[in-house]
Amino acid sequence: MTIEVCVFDAYGTLFDVAAAARQAASEPGQDRLAAIWPELAEDWRRKQLEYSWLRAVTGDYVPFWQVTCDGLDWAMDRAGLDDPELRERLLALYWELAAYRDVPGTLARLKAAGKACAILSNGSRDMLEGAVDSAGIGLYLDAVLSVDAVGVFKPAAAVYDLVGARFGCAREAVLFVSSNGWDAGCAASYGFRSVWVNRSGQPQDRLMASPAHVLSDLATLPDLL
């Protein structure tokens, strides 16, 4: 079946989740953060995901902003950073995450090829709109779909259902793209043709299904179509 809709995860796929810690570490007076920011960013992201998975299992949904704050608090505690001003700065920067350099060109090529493009993310709607505006990629997107609409985080099937509900397309007509191996695998199991953008060279997750394609970045994604 011909691909009609290209759907992207947001954080780590389109937006650089390490950008907030990296930017804060470059600012004056942040020598301590400068020495540990990669570890802080990794811990922050890992806990953000873990908390979303746990809440998906237990049904205790809160907006993604809450798990983002909770993940940062854990990461700062682990790093021994008791600095309320730094915490507020990091959270503010998370609303302005930079897009990866391959993102605008890839989206532009897909739109030129006549494909609908959308975001499907665990992110809260207002968080996603802030990141899209900051990165200047809104002109390439036909929809920004947030789990806020269903009150559960990925990989719940109800989240992937949002794509069909919005675009009225069959699952097989969707190319789903994520930098998270678990997300790409679960999307493949759901019935999407999925692509794992393995930006960090990780081993493939052992899941119920595997992505149809594995790429190191988004630059060659339009060639798949």
Block means of pLDDT (10 residues each) for the chain, 225 residues, are 95 96 97 97 98 96 97 98 97 94 97 97 95 95 98 97 98 98 98 96 94 96 93
Phi-psi region at 164: left, alpha or beta (left = phi > 0; alpha = psi -120 to 50): alpha
What topology is assigned to 19-94 in CATH? DNA polymerase; domain 1 (1.10.150)
Q: Give the active site residue among 9, 16, 43, 183.
A: 9
Contact of 108 with 73, CB cutoff 8 Å? no
Residue 188 confidence (pLDDT): 98
Coil, strand or helix at 64: helix
Residue 201 burial (C-beta neighbours within 10 Å; 0-12, 13-18, 19+): exposed
Question: Is 83 an active-site residue?
Answer: no
Q: 77 CB contacts (<8 Å, ≥6 apart)?
A: none
Residue 128 confidence (pLDDT): 96
Architecture of domain 5-15+98-224: 3-Layer(aba) Sandwich (3.40)
Coil, strand or helix at 210: coil
Q: Domain boundaries in the chain?
A: 5-15+98-224, 19-94
Residue 60 confidence (pLDDT): 97
Residue 1 confidence (pLDDT): 78
